[in-house]
Amino acid sequence: MASVKLSGITKRYEDVTAVDDMNLEIEDGEFVTFVGPSGCGKSTTMETIAGLTLPTEGSIEIGGRDVTDLPPKDRGISMVFQNIALFPHMDVYDNISFGLRLRKYDQEEVERRVEEAADIVQLEGMMERMPSEMSGGQRQRVAIARAIVRNPGAFLMDEPLANLDAELRVHMRTQLQRLHRELDTTIIYVTHDQAQAMTMSDRIAVINSGVLQQVAPPLECYNEPANRFVAGFIGSPSMNFIEGEAVADGFESTYTDIEFDPDAQGVSPGQNVTVGVRPEDVHLERNAGEAGAPTKAFDAVVDVIEPVGKEVNAYLLFDRDVEASAEGRGEGQLLINLEPDTTISESDDVQVVLDRDNVHLFDRASGDAISHSL
Ligand code: ADP
């Protein structure tokens, strides 16, 4: 087990700053996930920890030791990547034990470690299979077992489930959590998939454009996003945003107004603010009891209804004149989650309320969160 500490890590490629002054301390045995959109710098950060690339500035400690200039093999880490590079001409046993044999471990020790790792990832009885005779998930488990046998201080995993189909991905998610529990080892995991980040991690590190946005337990990022980026990235379907302005008695926008005391919320009249509300925190006025503290009701029109089984997603327009944007939810559009048996039809006129306890306010200029409850 090892802690990992990044101090002022910056990585520049000519005119691209892939990672910008990243500071992060990962505790011994912690499962931390780097999450963010494609190109935000997740892999580059991971590569600096692994030693596959040198940071332009900053230092890295693993287990309290400065490893900034050490080659990957001397850092006490194991890596698992998206592209599972198994040796095609070797069976499972030889693939898993390859690194140990290379390092001249004695036969008994190799067998013991391979058996233990195979047991953890449930590959017993498959030692003589060739990679070509295995499914994607089984091959990925071989790759993980190969990382386990090295008994590393930390595992670095970069999108290890990206090439698996959806069902297998969910299954492997559970497996990885078990693995973490059993090994009690530090895991640093990279994914662009916020669902993976939310379900597996002790903490998630949300990155955008090379900059760390928030490092916190998943539910804290969900319930108290540090800024508008985190609010929009974490959670699926994503949060609704309404652009407007703080006024003397609350918030005003083209289609809605919400009463609150600006002083108590820390906003000044005239300030450009964004209201954020998750689809599950919008309710039909006739079910206003579902909201802990409903706002006054707004008129809306039902645009599109999506039954997804356990719930219904309804896309609303604040006004019949609003043009539904083809590129995601635009101004004047609102997504609401409803119970599956809700009777509602496209083009219905409805009234909705927001749950004040879960209405977020963001400063429009900086994007920073101001408040998470009105
Ligand atoms: P992510 O893993 O979040 O998708 P990356 O860390 O791969 O993002 O990339 C971050 C940024 O750095 C991107 O803009 C990418 O184009 C750039 N980048 C990554 N590697 C290199 C490289 N070897 N040379 C130049 N630019 C790179």
Tens digits of residue pLDDT in 74-111: 999 988 887 778 999 999 999 999 989 988 999 999 99
| Binding site membership of 22 for ligand 1 (Cβ less than 6 Å) | no
Tell me, what's the pLDDT at 123? 86
- Asked if CATH classification 3.90.79.10 holds for the domain at 240-371, the reply, yes or no, is no
| Binding site membership of 15 for ligand 1 (Cβ less than 6 Å) | no
Tell the residue nearest (CA) to atom 6 of ligand 1: 41
Amino acid at 128: E
Lowest average pLDDT, out of 236-245, 287-296, 352-361, goes to 287-296
| Binding site membership of 39 for ligand 1 (Cβ less than 6 Å) | yes
| Binding site membership of 43 for ligand 1 (Cβ less than 6 Å) | yes
Lowest average pLDDT, out of 6-10, 117-121, 164-168, 331-335, goes to 164-168
What are 289-312's pLDDT values in tens digits?
Answer: 888 899 999 999 999 999 989 999
| Helical spans, DSSP H, in the chain | 42-50, 92-102, 107-120, 136-148, 166-183, 194-200, 218-223, 228-233, 262-265
Q: Which burial class, exposed, middle or buried, applies to 319 when counting CB atoms under 10 A from its CB (0-12, 13-18, 19+)?
A: exposed
| 203: β partners | 32
Amino acid at 60: I
Domain boundaries, the chain: 4-227, 240-371
Tell me, what's the pLDDT at 22? 98
Atom of ligand 1 nearest to the CA of 37: 3
pTM for this prediction? 0.91
4-227, CATH topology level:
Rossmann fold (3.40.50)
- Contact status, residue 207 vs residue 35, Cβ threshold 8 Å: yes
pLDDT for residue 228 is more than 80 = yes
Percent of the chain with pLDDT over 90: 73
- Contact status, residue 249 vs residue 240, Cβ threshold 8 Å: no
Tell me, what's the pLDDT at 21? 97
Which helix (H) or strand (E) segment is 9 a member of? strand 4-13
pLDDT for residue 373 is more than 80 = yes
**The two three-digit tokens of residue 88, written as one number:** 């095609």
Residues 6+ apart with CB under 8 A from 227: 213, 214, 362, 366, 367, 368, 369
- Contact status, residue 369 vs residue 227, Cβ threshold 8 Å: yes
Mean pLDDT in residue range 263-290: 94
Q: Closest Cα partner for 264 from 281, 249, 283? A: 249
Report CA(40)–ligand 1 centroid distance (Å). Answer: 7
